[in-house]
Amino acid sequence: QKEVEQDPGPLSVPEGAIVSLNCTYSNSAFQYFMWYRQYSRKGPELLMYTYSSGNKEDGRFTAQVDKSSKYISLFIRDSQPSDSATYLCAGRGRGSNYKLTFGKGTLLTVNP
Amino acid sequence: NAGVTQTPKFQVLKTGQSMTLQCAQDMNHNSMYWYRQDPGMGLRLIYYSASEGTTDKGEVPNGYNVSRLNKREFSLRLESAAPSQTSVYFCASSDGGGAYEQYFGPGTRLTVT
């Protein structure tokens, strides 16, 4: 079992929809969780990160972590065509473990 | 701030040729990383350098070598390129403060024929 599992999609939604992107993880040592956005033929761009369980909001984006079920979510409100990209989730343990473990990414298309 | 820069952007090699991919960051980060990204495989860590003067293997190190030249620069070398090394290569850097969130460069697209 991969440490971070992510449905590859593709996911296609109309403009203005609420998008839910999800990952599951198996490593109980993960404390930090990150979401990256990757446009076609570009490098991944950090959207936001959360520590342990709970929610974090940044504009139209909300990241949610449920450590009891090992579930990570990213919600996008009022989705825009410019949100069309691949979204990658990642987890990391605490302390000197510098390495991130990534999911394979979900391809999202927001149609105008 | 340019962030993380990578050169070259594109490269075509013949099997058996060697090349070095260059990466530099201007964010004064301690840690740097090299990943490869292949369709259906996601991002896989090749090597990383937790701090200047140290390097460690990641998930897929075979066929690669790295050099942490100084705090800013981290290079990846392919000594004898193989078609299986056709991929997009990303460099990233991170600093402390808890999350060690990583910041990525624009990537190098490498084709080995």
Task: Enumerate the residues of chain A whose CB falls inside 8 A of the CB of residue B50.
Answer: 96, 98
Cβ partners under 8 Å of residue B97, min gap 6: none
For Cα atoms A11, A67, A71, give the angle at the middle one, nearest 5 degrees.
15
Rounded distance, CA A68 to CA A88, Å?
21
pLDDT reading at B96 higher than 70 = no
Q: Do B42 and A45 touch (CB under 8 A)?
A: no
Task: Enumerate the residues of chain A whose CB falls inside 8 A of the CB of residue B52.
Answer: none
Q: Do A98 and B104 touch (CB under 8 A)?
A: no
Q: What is the per-residue pLDDT across A44-57, written as a single tens digit (0 to 9) for each?
A: 999 998 888 889 99
Average pLDDT taken over every residue of chain B: 93
Check residue B40 and give its pLDDT. Answer: 83
> Taking a C-beta distance cutoff of 8 angstroms, is the pair A86, A38 a contact?
yes
| Smallest CA–CA distance from B47 into chain A, residue | A99
Reported as a pLDDT band with limits 50, 70 and 90, residue B91 is very high
pLDDT reading at A97 higher than 60 = no
Top pLDDT among A84 and A92 is at: A84
The residue-averaged pLDDT of B4-17 equals 97
Top pLDDT among A2 and A27 is at: A27
Q: What is the per-residue pLDDT across A28-38, written as a single tens digit (0 to 9) for each?
A: 888 889 999 99
Reported as a pLDDT band with limits 50, 70 and 90, residue B99 is low
CA nearest to A4, candidates A20, A27, A21, A38: A27
